[in-house]
């Protein structure tokens, strides 16, 4: 098993969040891109404003690293039209994969119709542009029953509206890594949350994002059945170290 091909190396902090200037933060993001190229990670996951920079660095290096970005991040409450507009710009800038934040607040409020429609339209848009799409459900904001329900809802929209050969290109993703939990509770992937997702997402693949910080944790997620891992600790993972990053 080549661990690198499961890893979506991730840097999603804004300059404000990192306590840096815009230029300093861009330098760090570029460093993550160059590291992904050097280490042969599957994908570099960055904010939309860094997509064009990443695309240029990767193309210059003639690398196969994919460029992923987040849409409506991290809240997920924008309109479907706003999400599609942001995704369109990301594709124009060179993104290969689109990680949409599902409107989990609408789901929690009982507005399943809105959630189903954004899943349908967002996935249709991604496929029309030959892109992989991932739907972030933000497990830390949901109870176990809600995790199961929302995972199943997304799966059912895809199975009802798309052909079987499309399934491998629609992921269920656990977390943004930015949700604020109480009392230090995990805000990312855990064994229970990923297990619930896997049990209810199949045949769609699952991406474990947030909280995977060392090789043993990454291996456990792969053994559970995830196809991708989103982490800011990708290099530490392949080096057998443990990162102290939050994501």
Q: What are the catalytic residues?
A: 99, 173, 207
DSSP β-ladder status, 206-209 and 228-231: parallel
* Residue located via tokens 């739907």: 135
* Closest C-alpha among 50, 51, 10 to residue 228: 10
CA distances from 40 to 12, 37, 63, 79, 234 (A): 19, 5, 8, 36, 11
> What is d(CA 158, CA 167) in angstroms, rounded to the nearest whole number?
7
Q: What is the DSSP string of 186-233?
A: --S--HHHHHHHHHHHTTS-EEEESS--SHHHHHHHHHHT-SEEEETT
Show the CA angle centred on residue 174, arms to residues 70 and 158, nearest 5°. 80
Contact criterion met (CB below 8 Å) for 202 and 98 = no
Contact criterion met (CB below 8 Å) for 231 and 206 = no
> What is d(CA 126, CA 141) in angstroms, rounded to the nearest whole number?
26
* Closest C-alpha among 103, 116, 48 to residue 77: 103
Count of Cβ atoms closer than 10 Å to residue 93 Cβ: 18
């Amino acid at each position: 098993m080549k661990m690198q091909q499961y890893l979506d190396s991730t840097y999603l902090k804004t300059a404000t969040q990192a306590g840096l200037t815009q230029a300093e933060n861009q330098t760090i993001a570029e460093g993550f891109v160059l590291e992904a190229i050097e280490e042969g990670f599957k994908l570099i996951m960055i904010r939309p404003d860094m997509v064009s920079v990443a695309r240029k660095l990767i193309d210059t290096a003639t690398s196969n690293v994919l460029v992923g970005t987040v849409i409506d991040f991290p809240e997920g409450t924008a309109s479907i039209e706003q999400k599609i507009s942001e995704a369109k710009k990301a594709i124009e800038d060179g993104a290969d994969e689109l990680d949409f934040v599902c409107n989990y607040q609408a789901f929690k409020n009982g507005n399943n119709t809105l959630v189903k429609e954004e899943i349908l339209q967002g996935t249709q848009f991604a496929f029309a542009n030959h892109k992989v799409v991932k739907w972030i459900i933000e497990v830390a904001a949901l109870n176990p029953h809600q995790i199961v329900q929302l995972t199943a809802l997304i799966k059912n929209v895809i199975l009802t509206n798309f052909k079987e050969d499309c399934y491998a290109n629609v992921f269920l993703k656990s977390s943004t890594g930015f949700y604020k939990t109480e009392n230090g509770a995990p805000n990312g992937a855990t064994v229970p949350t990923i297990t619930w997702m896997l049990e209810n997402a199949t045949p769609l693949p699952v991406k474990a994002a947030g909280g995977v910080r060392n090789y043993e944790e990454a291996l456990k997620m792969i053994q559970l059945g995830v196809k991708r891992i989103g982490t800011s600790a990708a290099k530490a993972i392949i080096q057998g170290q443990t990162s102290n990053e939050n994501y």
